């Protein structure tokens, strides 16, 4: 079948689950159970019913903060940085998803998994979504203003990547790279929030996070590959095809090696105690073993397995965050 190269003119309202529930939301999530009815379409637009994306945005922030604290010791301000990153990740992920759904509304209306989202299903207008986008961005900006000036500048710069990402799948087979550039920016920002300046360890963490994003989002993209062929959307899942597992092994190895390098570059010049260094080094390798487990379970032709493994990456990233935090407190 010939690929479509132009975006469809306009979406049509699509049928959706009862009470507006989104097809790939977490079952029995808090939005569907507890949120006031009038807020549900907007919370779904922000993916509040699917928190995995907020975790994937948050965890690199905690990596950067914990590694920076392991170098020169934790400070009381780090507690607020950790909480601020949590709040910021939640609202800015929501803002990013809102922007993504505005730009992708015609594509989403044609994909089985996404046509129940609030805009293509008719629950939220584009104007309402834009207002919601601005509100979320203002809340995220208020959190950012509590950090130092260098971190504020880093946060503002990240908006460029957020704005570009939804269009990447229209012009490159590697949109996951653009997602990685945006989603792992927090590793740089949180490092700068603690130290006041950018350092090589943070850059290595950032690049490792991009490799990790290529790993998990390629798995995620395999859910939609058949629909993507029909509507002309590009992805690494389509690019790699039956060679996907080989590429995922490469991304896994690159992630572990780069994370290990980040720890060594940060802690060896600082003269870290052997216990601190050991704890910090366990993190990347334990994270790598979790990625090995994912590869053993992976079936790229089973959308349910792909979604389960994608969501499992919350635990993958938490493993590293936990060991770096313990190292910082040791």
Q: Domain with 96 in it: what CATH number?
A: 1.10.357.140
What CA–CA distance (Å, rounded) separates 111 from 230? Answer: 9
Token pair of 294 as six digits: 């994912």
CB-based contact 314:56 (threshold 8 Å): yes
pLDDT of 308 reads: 96
Which residue range(s) make up the domain with 60?
35-329
Q: Is residue 265 a part of any domain in this protein?
A: yes
51 within a domain of the structure (yes/no): yes
Q: Is 47 part of a structural domain of the chain?
A: yes
pLDDT the model gives residue 19:
64
Is residue 173, in this structure, part of any structural domain at all? yes
Do the beta carbons of residue 113 and residue 5 sit within 8 Å?
no
pLDDT number for residue 113: 76
Is position 25 within any domain? no
Sign of CA dihedral 120, 123, 129, 133: negative
C-alpha distances (whole Å) from 62 to each of 77, 204, 233 are 14, 15, 32
Burial (CB count <10 Å: 0-12, 13-18, 19+), residue 73:
exposed
Number of structural domains found in the chain: 1
53: region left, alpha or beta (phi > 0 left; psi from -120 to 50 alpha): alpha
Given a contact cutoff of 8 angstroms between Cβ atoms, the answer to whether 215 and 248 are in contact is yes
Please indicate, yes or no, if residue 314 is contained in any of the structural domains: yes
Given this model, what pLDDT does residue 12 score? 41
Per the domain annotation, does 1 fall within a domain? no
pLDDT digits (tens, 9 = 90+) for 281-305: 999 999 999 999 999 999 999 999 9
In a domain, 140, yes or no: yes
Closest CA to 319 of 246, 199, 212, 182: 212
Name residues of the chain where pLDDT drops below 70.
1-19, 24
Q: What is the mean pLDDT of the chain?
A: 90
């Amino acid at each position: 079948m010939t690929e479509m190269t132009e975006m469809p003119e306009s979406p049509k309202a699509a049928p959706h689950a009862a009470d507006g529930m989104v097809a790939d939301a977490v079952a029995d999530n808090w939005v569907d159970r507890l949120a006031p009815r009038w807020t549900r379409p907007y919370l779904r637009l922000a993916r509040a019913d699917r928190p995995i994306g907020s975790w994937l945005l948050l965890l690199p922030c905690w990596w950067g903060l914990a590694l920076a604290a392991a170098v020169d010791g934790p400070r009381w301000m780090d507690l607020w940085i950790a909480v601020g990153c949590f709040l910021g990740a939640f609202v800015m992920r929501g803002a990013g998803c809102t922007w993504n759904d505005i730009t992708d509304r015609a594509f989403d209306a044609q994909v089985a998994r996404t046509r129940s989202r609030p805009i293509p299903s008719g629950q939220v207008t584009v104007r309402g979504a834009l207002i919601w986008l601005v509100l979320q961005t203002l809340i995220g900006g208020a959190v950012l203003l509590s950090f130092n000036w260098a971190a504020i500048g880093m946060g503002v710069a990240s908006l460029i990547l957020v704005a570009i990402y939804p269009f990447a799948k229209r012009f490159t087979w590697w949109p996951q790279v653009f997602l990685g550039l945006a989603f792992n920016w927090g590793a740089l920002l949180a490092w700068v929030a603690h130290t006041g300046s950018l350092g090589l360890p943070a850059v290595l963490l950032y690049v490792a996070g991009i490799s990790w994003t290529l790993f998990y989002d390629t798995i995620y993209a395999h859910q939609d590959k058949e629909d993507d062929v029909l509507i002309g959307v590009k992805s690494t899942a389509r690019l790699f095809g039956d060679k996907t597992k080989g590429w995922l092994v490469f991304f896994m190895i690159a992630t572990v090696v780069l994370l290990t390098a980040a720890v060594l570059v940060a802690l060896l010049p600082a003269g870290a105690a052997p216990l601190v260094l050991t704890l910090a080094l366990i993190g990347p390798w334990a994270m790598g073993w979790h990625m090995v487990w994912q590869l053993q379970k992976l079936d790229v032709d089973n959308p349910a397995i792909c979604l389960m493994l994608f969501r499992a990456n919350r635990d993958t990233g938490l493993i590293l965050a936990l060991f770096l935090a313990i190292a910082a407190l040791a």
